[in-house]
Amino acid sequence: MELYDILNKKCNKLNHLIYLYGTDRYLSDITVKYLLSSDEIGFPELNVTRINDRNVTAEEAEKILMVPPIGGTKRLIIIDYECIQKQEYDRFSELIFKIPDFASLVLINVSDNPDSRSSLSKLLLKRADVIKCSFNTNGEITDYIVNLFKTNGKSITRNDAAFLYDFVQSDFNTLNNEIIKLCSLSKDSINSKDISIYCNKADDYKIYLLHNYLINGELTSAKALLSSVLRDGSLIPLISYLATNFEILLMARACLDSGYSAANTLKTIVDNFNGKYEYRIKNLIKQVRRFDISDIRKAIDTLAELDYLSKSNNYYLGESMLGYLCEIYKIK
């Protein structure tokens, strides 16, 4: 089952065995909320048991599962996978085949890569209704955002959805709150302008804007924004972000010079970054022709030097950073 298929929907029928895995607690929590919406449970306070703070044995879980539900047709027991000791894996594997028709067992594993070598995990992946509660790539996150807007009766392009994620850059709880805010607008379609006006910016967005000002030669705007970054504190995040930008530009230039299309260049670089930064990489590919490959290499060397200086206790870059940036971006 895909995660965005259950958003804001009611659960009609509970499988007797459900396996949630993924590192994002917010996503697993909304999935549990979806499961609890089932009319089969009747009274959750009587028919739902949650174990997430102590060790649990298969014997204890079996005793709970074997008690018929009260005022409903299903009893639900939810257990965090980490609460099961390894010596209990085989017993839980046996329990899976004993679950009565009136009960459902939900196991939650806070890992993006369940250990398929263990007998229990292997059995769960084979027999359970499996729901992945995390996203490994920006493409999956973009699909999630687009579908969440659709569920709320709104539309957003994939490009603007990717922009929203880059703009907010936070946990899914915060992202969801920003989406709710945008869905409250009295318009059917949401775009990047709406996101810029109504959503809370991530700290990295300032640096994203600074890069764009510099690459377009907008020195006055760049200087004002750099002053804001300096007031915020350390220059290390700025230097790190820009260094990654120029690494991406170097890869993009190498791909394009080798005859890759823009689409294949994007795929190659996104894959190299394990599915991250899709929107950012797409913009950098559009900008790469403004630099010779020698300029990009020189920028990377300069940023490496600045990284060393910024971490030196007896050296303060301060306002001199603007001069370095003008050199990097060839602004005279």
User: What confidence score (pLDDT) does residue 176 get?
Assistant: 82
Between 260 and 165, the more confident residue is: 260
pLDDT at 41 over 80: yes
Tens of pLDDT, residues 203-257: 777 888 899 999 999 999 899 888 888 877 778 888 999 999 999 999 999 999 9
From the list 249, 231, 234, 228, the residue with the least C-alpha distance to 312 is 234
List the alpha helices (DSSP H) in the chain: 25-36, 44-47, 58-65, 89-96, 119-127, 138-151, 158-168, 172-183, 192-198, 203-215, 219-232, 236-257, 262-272, 278-287, 293-310, 321-328
What confidence tier does 148 reach under pLDDT thresholds 50, 70, 90? Answer: confident
Q: Indicate the range of 60-64, 133-137, 220-224 predicted with least confidence.
A: 133-137
pLDDT at 274 over 80: no
What is the three-class DSSP state of 50?
Answer: strand
Tell me, yes or no, if the pTM score tops 0.75.
Answer: no
Query: In this structure, which topology does domain 204-328 adopt according to CATH?
Result: Zinc Finger, Delta Prime; domain 3 (1.20.272)
User: What confidence score (pLDDT) does residue 94 get?
Assistant: 95
| All structural domains of the chain with their residue ranges | 3-132, 138-198, 204-328
What confidence tier does 62 reach under pLDDT thresholds 50, 70, 90? Answer: very high
C-alpha dist (Å) from residue 132 to 4, 78, 127, 146, 257: 10, 16, 15, 18, 39
Round to whole Å and give the CA distance between 318 and 323: 10
Tens of pLDDT, residues 44-56: 889 999 998 789 9
Tens of pLDDT, residues 299-332: 999 999 998 888 876 566 777 888 999 999 988 7
Between 4 and 69, the more confident residue is: 69
User: What confidence score (pLDDT) does residue 6 get?
Assistant: 65
DSSP-derived letter for residue 258 is T
The mean pLDDT of the chain is: 87
Between 176 and 164, the more confident residue is: 164
Tens of pLDDT, residues 104-115: 999 999 888 887
Between 253 and 29, the more confident residue is: 253
Query: In this structure, which topology does domain 138-198 adopt according to CATH?
Result: Helicase, Ruva Protein; domain 3 (1.10.8)
pLDDT at 273 over 90: no
Domain 3-132 in CATH 1.10.260.40: no
